[in-house]
């Protein structure tokens, strides 16, 4: 049994760099609760997540046993709505605090 490449198969194109979704780059105004953590200037959704992680790491809020969990302090509790969230929940939870 011989294995030959299919000569009729189309050649792969060079991978093009993905363009960011304009919806993620739109600047949004944070709510009062979120502004207490990241500031009140309008920022893009992606920048909000970055600034939240800066705050989380600066205040040592990652769970010691499971680094994927974030423990909320007094400023983050109104944003998260509970005492602990996973890192995957953060982006969904901040949507309510941006307009």
Count of the separate structural domains present in the chain: 1
Instruction: Give residue-wise pLDDT tens across range 21-38.
Output: 777 788 999 999 999 999
Please identify every stretch of the chain with a pLDDT value under 50, giving residue numbers as ranges: none
Centre a 10 Å sphere on the Cβ of residue 83 and count the other Cβ atoms it contains: 11
Tell me which residue of 17, 30, 49 sits closest to 98, measured CA to CA: 30
Q: Within a domain: residue 15?
A: no
Amino acid 53: pLDDT: 94
DSSP 8-state secondary structure symbol assigned to residue 2 = -
CATH number at residue 32: 1.10.245.10
pTM higher than 0.85, yes or no?
no
Q: Which domain holds residue 88?
A: 24-97
Alpha-carbon distance 51 to 72, whole Å?
Answer: 15
Q: Is there a contact between 70 and 57 (Cβ–Cβ < 8 Å)?
A: no
Q: Within a domain: residue 47?
A: yes
């Amino acid at each position: 049994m011989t294995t030959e490449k299919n000569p009729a198969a189309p050649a792969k194109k060079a991978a093009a760099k993905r363009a960011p979704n304009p919806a993620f780059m739109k600047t949004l105004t944070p709510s009062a609760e979120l502004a207490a953590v990241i500031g009140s200037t309008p920022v893009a959704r992606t920048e909000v997540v970055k600034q939240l992680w800066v705050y989380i790491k600066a205040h040592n809020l990652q769970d010691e046993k499971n680094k994927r969990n974030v423990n909320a302090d007094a400023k983050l509790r109104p944003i998260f709505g509970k005492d602990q969230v996973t890192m995957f929940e953060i982006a969904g939870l901040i949507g309510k605090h941006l307009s």
